[in-house]
Amino acid sequence: MMNTEDLAGLLETLCPMFLLVDDTGHIKQAGPTLQKLRPNAPLVGQSFLDVFELIRPRTVTTVPALMSMAGAKLNLKFHDEPRTALKGLVAPLPNGGGAVINLSFGISILDAVRDYALTSADFSGTDLAIELLYLVEAKSAAMEASRSLNLRLQGAMLAAEEQAYTDTLTGLKNRRAMDYMLAHLVSTNSAFALMHLDLDFFKSVNDRLGHAAGDYVLQQAAHIMVEETRSDDTVARVGGDEFVIIFKGMTREETLTAIADRLIARLNEPMTFQRQSCRISASIGTALSIHFDVPNAAGILHAADLALYQAKRDGRSCHCLYSTLSSAQP
Amino acid sequence: MHGLINRAIQSFVCATYGQSCWLRVTEAAGLGFVEFEAMLVYDNDMSTRILHALSADLNRPQAEILEDVGTYLVSHPNTEGLRRLLRFGGVTYVEFLHSLDDLADRVRLAVSDLTLPTLELRELSSTEYQLCCFPGLPGYSSVMVGVLRAMADDYGALVMLSHDGQQGNAEVISVTLVESAFAAGRHFDLGARSG
């Protein structure tokens, strides 16, 4: 059997964070890296349990209990600051001659290299500590690069959404597209008609049968509006259950009334969603650009709004032309 | 070509010759954009066109420019993180040279889709080494000459480097270690993580 001196020399090479304790739990030898953690307090001569607190298993508070932990994984901490967390393994020496306790940093290594200014030379050649530190740095750098890419992509996505002209639920144009179209028609002095359509009883479908049914109804309504208009008319969903249809070049009130009546008639037909019948209707107000001396977007939208309110007052499922209102421009 | 490689060239050009030079080069190369993303992958052809345009703009051979890229990657504060990662390779310059055998694997651990050519160090004597750069990335051996030179400064070693031509399909760089502790070198603190 080798003597303590030889054993300590061997351990120093293999595991620079070892402790050799005697049968009373006093430290007889300490590895150089472990001693480097407490430069002003020689570990040799101190009692193991005075230097370290066992975190797990907590029940180990006596030397015999410690000695009985052979082969089990220990979690411990220094009693004093910095309270670096360590992992440990106890290997009792034969014939009650004390034990070798090997310690390592585990996950606390990132803080430990900084707190104690450790270098490659403080770790044994087979220790994966340096590789771990390398990996943490390399992965952090790669993660940072990915994160900054994600941020830029997110910014681009938001910008794209903002620039989109489509209502994603119905596939119709959205409010932005409608505003754009309206401004374009006004600025080119084109004749057009604008219909403001509001679904009646939509809220009750939503409340009674849920959002899925509500979404289905909006999609069906959108489908009907597209079918009943020409391909170069603009059909836009501008609010929850509000739609605007712009008819380019349209100046005939009779045609508009006919279209509005057809829309109302078709929207009045019951729709079936998952064997549930959904009944809605529509009120429509219409304004024509030719009824304005100097058409402007806000003015025409407002006129169609006023007509829509009148249609609602007339009882639902009605169409009202702005030109028939007493408040209309001459 | 991986965005990290393109980004390295972009960073080098901007830091060394200025943003205006980079804009001229991307224009001449017909890139259609001016910023490479580090974590995206681009057509190899783009990198080829960039290097071609850069060489014409600076009126310098590509190999010479790529050597400077290698030096830049190790010595410029912009890329301090990379220097640190290379320093993890070893405590001395010779240990660092030996760690180059694992460089491609180390890189793959960090960025799984970045594939660098295999490197192989041959030790002819304790002061004479040959580094074989296997194919896969045109111009890689030129970049490595720059890296080896700058890392020697970093470790404080005095070395002589030269291209030794082709051996089989590998390009060979010969490294002669004149003095392993010529100067103090730069400090490397394990715990001081860069940016």
Catalytic residue among A122, A167, A198, A241: A241
Chain A residues with CB under 8 Å of B111 CB are: 138, 142
Say whether both A179 and A279 belong to one domain.
yes
Please name the residues in contact with B77: beta carbons below 8 A apart, sequence gap of 6 or more.
none
pLDDT of A330 over the 70 cut:
no
Verify that B98 and B163 share a domain, yes or no: yes
Is a pLDDT exceeding 90 seen at residue B183? no
**pLDDT of res. B115:** 94
- The average pLDDT across B23-35 equals 94
Residue A60 and residue A196 in one domain: no
Residue B91, domain member (yes or no): yes
Q: Lowest-pLDDT range, A114-123, A238-247, B156-165?
A: A114-123
Same domain flag for A106 and A153: no
**What is the span of the domain harbouring residue B21?**
3-60
The pair of structure tokens assigned to A40 is 């002003």
- Asked whether residue A282 falls in the same domain as residue A246, the answer is yes
Answer yes or no: do A137 and B88 touch at CB < 8 A.
yes
Strands A27-30 and A18-21: antiparallel
The pLDDT assigned to B83 comes to 92
* Contact criterion met (CB below 8 Å) for A250 and A288: yes
Confidence at residue B193, expressed as pLDDT on a 0 to 100 scale: 64
What predicted TM-score, i.e. pTM, was given to this entire model? 0.66
Please check whether residue B65 lies inside any domain of the structure.
no
Which residue of A105, A123, A137, A139 to mutate against B (max B Cβ within 10 Å)? Answer: A137
Q: Give the separation between CA A60 and CA A70, rounded to whole angstroms.
A: 12
Q: Looking at the structure, do residues A279 and A250 belong to the same domain, yes or no?
A: yes
Single out the residue in B31, B60, B89 at which a domain terminates.
B60
Structural domain of A151: 128-163
Please check whether residue B187 lies inside any domain of the structure: no
| Residue A114 forms part of a structural domain | yes
CB within 8 Å: A145 and B192? no
**E strand or H helix at A12, and its extent?**
helix A4-14
Rounded to a whole number of angstroms, the distance from the CA of A251 to the nearest CA of chain B is: 47
ipTM: 0.80
- A28 exposed, middle or buried (CB, 10 Å; 0-12, 13-18, 19+)? middle
Q: How confident is the model over A73-113, as pLDDT tens digits?
A: 999 999 999 999 999 999 999 887 899 999 999 889 988 99
Pair (A107, A192) in one structural domain: no
Do B78 and B12 belong together in one domain? no
Q: Is the peptide bond before A82 cis (omega within 30 degrees of 0)?
A: yes
B123 and B29 in a common domain: no
Q: Please tell me the total count of domains within chain A.
A: 3
A229 with A280, same domain: the answer is yes
Spatial distance between the Cα atoms of A35 and A18, rounded to a whole number of angstroms: 10
Measure the CA–CA gap between A123 and A12, rounded to whole angstroms: 11
Q: Which of A117, A133, A152 sits opposite B88 (nearest CB)?
A: A133
Number of domains present in the structure of chain B:
2
Residues on chain A bordering chain B, Cβ-to-Cβ distance under 8 angstroms:
110, 112-115, 117-121, 130-131, 133-142, 145-146, 149, 152
Is A241 catalytic? The answer is yes
User: A160-219 pLDDT, tens per residue?
Assistant: 877 788 898 999 999 999 999 999 999 999 999 999 999 999 999 999 999 999 999 999
pLDDT category of residue A324 using cuts at 50, 70 and 90: very high
- Judged by CB atoms closer than 8 Å, whether chains meet at A138 and B192 is answered as no
Could you read off the pLDDT of A15-40 as tens digits, one per residue?
A: 999 999 999 999 999 999 999 999 99
Please report residues of A whose CB lies closer than 8 A to that of B37: 149, 152
Give the CATH number, domain containing residue A67: 3.30.450.260
pLDDT score recorded for residue A4: 81
Residues A66 and A207 in one domain: no
> CB distance B91–A140 less than 8 Å?
no
Asked whether residue B68 carries a pLDDT value surpassing 50, the answer given is yes
Residue B127 and residue B33 in one domain? no
pLDDT exceeds cutoff 70 at B195: no
Q: Give the mean model confidence (pLDDT) for residues A249-262.
A: 95
A194-208, B30-44, B158-172, B178-192: which has the minimum mean pLDDT? B178-192
Best of B2, B79, B190 to disrupt the A interface (most A CBs within 10 Å) is B190
Which tens digits make up the pLDDT trace of A48-68? 999 999 998 888 889 999 999
